[in-house]
Amino acid sequence: MVGIVSWGAYIPVYRLSQKKIAGVWGSQEANGEKAVANFDEDSVTMAVEAVLDCTRGIDRSCIDGLFLATTSAPYLEKAASALVVTATDMSRQSRTADFSSSPRAGTNAVLSAVDAVRGGSAHHILVVASDCRLGAAGGAMEQLLGNGAAALLIGDEGVIASIEGSYSASEEVFDIWRSDSDRFVHMAEPRFATAHYLSTMQATISRLMTNHTVKMQDFSKVIFNAPDPRTHTQLARALGLELKTQVQAPLFNTIGDIGAASTLLMLVAALEEAKPGERILVANYGSGCDILILQVTNAITKLSPRRGVKGHLSIRRDLPSYEKALVFQNMIQTERERRPTPEAPSPILLLRERQAVIALYGSRCRECRTVQYPPARVCVSCRAKDKMEGYRFSDKIATVFTFTKDYISLTPDPPTLEVVIDFQGGGRMVCALTDCDEGEIKIGMPVEMTFRKLYESKGITNYFWKARPIRR
């Protein structure tokens, strides 16, 4: 049996109310809020979070590959999947691929992973979808698009939802697009885009029904993405679905449309509630359509708790203003502090120190068991030379020993919060504290590590780990 073995999710902590967006532009107000990535987040950092959530209690070194789906990879050339593999400390002897260019990339990656496992070339492939798409200020896309990530571990053991069937179709259509010189996603004339979406989805879903001789009533949940909330409801009606019970709630009012991750995140949300024996239909639109039939197994009851969608939705902070969201998304030029531009990190050093910097490995002395970060040749406690073994800090929790709120350093979001943290199990680090309001910071506060962007210089993004408050 091949299918989903585990799931995880990530939603940025900051939410922007639709009221605030409408208030600025005088546009028609949408309901709810959307998730906005912090200034130090991007599709890679969110993917890392979702992978870590998905692999709680799972040995990541046993995973044979990682497929990353995103339309907003930080680099057009340079594999984001390889960065996620390193940051999450997966084996580098693994298959990696970046799926992109359409919201359908998420299910493209799932189907490829399923085929790889079915074909016997892998036992476990981690699929992670993550997106940080931007809509231009004042437009409909700005209201619609949010940020988030979802991860699914595909495998042939301990399957919690098996893939029973699938169907794919492609279509050449200009309904949603972004060229390599555009920052913002464009949408065609809405009535055209909507009509094309509805006809494509209906046609492919009915084709699958015929092929697999199933009926809509056979599914306890039907999951599908859509260009907007109204069209989502329209398709549900057209398919004859029970709106309240059978249709998985879309993300528009809570997170926003998160592109390649939308449908997979809805699937994670559905799996959080799913019971053994239930069937789920997943339809993912984007330059065509992928459809999957899932069957939930008894193993779902045994999966240990994840933060998932439910957990992340409850961890939230209001963005105080619309302008703050513009700053976080680098959509507004702000007056820079008169400080020197940070030096771009050397690619040679970044490669040599990838284990320490990207995977956050320090060292542990085999003589006296002292752990320290960064890794060292000589032990800070017993001074033994070359008795070190690798020690991973990224998954250790810590407490704040002391802190500062720096109002003059170069940051898009002053003040910069810096903390000295002491790890459970030993070791101390001085690092930045993120996703934290300046009033919250205090000595003794529990924190966990999160992979973030430090700064960008000369086109090289400097990723590193920061601390963040543990929120439950």
Query: Least distance to another protein from the beta carbon of 349, Å?
Result: 3
Strand 186-187 with 176-177, pairing: antiparallel
By CB under 8 A, tell whether 334 contacts another protein.
Answer: no
User: From the CB of 403, what's the least distance to another protein, in Å?
Assistant: 6
**Among the candidate windows 34-42, 119-127, 201-209, 346-354, which touches another protein by CB under 8 A?**
346-354
Answer yes or no: are the C-beta atoms of 441 and 451 closer than 8 Å. Answer: no
Under rule CB under 8 A, residue 368 binds another protein = no
Residue 440 found at the interface with another protein (CB under 8 A): no
Q: Is 382 in the site for another protein (CB under 8 A)?
A: no
Looking at 431, 445, 447, 467, which residue binds another protein (CB under 8 A)?
Answer: 431
Strands 288-296 and 279-285 turn out to be antiparallel
Longest dimension (CA), the chain: 72
Nearer to another protein by C-beta: 167 or 463?
Answer: 463
Q: Does 349 bind another protein (CB under 8 A)?
A: yes
CB of 306 to another protein, least distance (A): 29
Q: Is 390 a binder of another protein (CB under 8 A)?
A: no
| Edge-first strand listing for the sheet containing 317-318 | 33-36, 14-17, 317-318
> b or e along 72-111 (b: 16 or more beta carbons within 10 Å of the residue's beta carbon)?
bbbeeeeebbbbbbbbbbbeeebbbbbbbbbbbbbbbbbb
Q: Of these, 56, 420, 448, 471, which contacts another protein (CB under 8 A)?
A: 420
374 lines the binding site for another protein (CB under 8 A): yes
**Backbone torsions φ then ψ of 223, nearest 5 degrees:** -120, 130
The residue (of 187 and 433) whose beta carbon lies closer to another protein is 433
CB of 267 to another protein, least distance (A): 35
415 counts as binding another protein under rule CB under 8 A: yes
Instruction: Show the tokens assigned to 442.
Output: 């205090």
- In whole angstroms, what is the distance from residue 21 CA to residue 319 CA? 11
Number of residues located near another protein, criterion CB under 8 A: 45
In terms of C-beta density within 10 A (0-12 exposed, 13-18 middle, 19 or more buried), how is residue 375 classed? middle
Euclidean distance between CA atoms 223 and 91, whole angstroms: 33
- The SS3 call for residue 149 is strand
**Contact stretch for another protein (CB under 8 A) within 60-68, 137-145, 237-245, 341-349:** 341-349
> Which of 272, 353, 395, 456 is the binder for another protein (CB under 8 A)?
353
Which residues contact another protein (rule: CB under 8 A)? Answer: 337-340, 342-343, 345-346, 349-350, 352-353, 356-357, 370, 372-374, 380-381, 401-409, 415-416, 418, 420, 422, 426-428, 430-432, 443, 454, 462-464
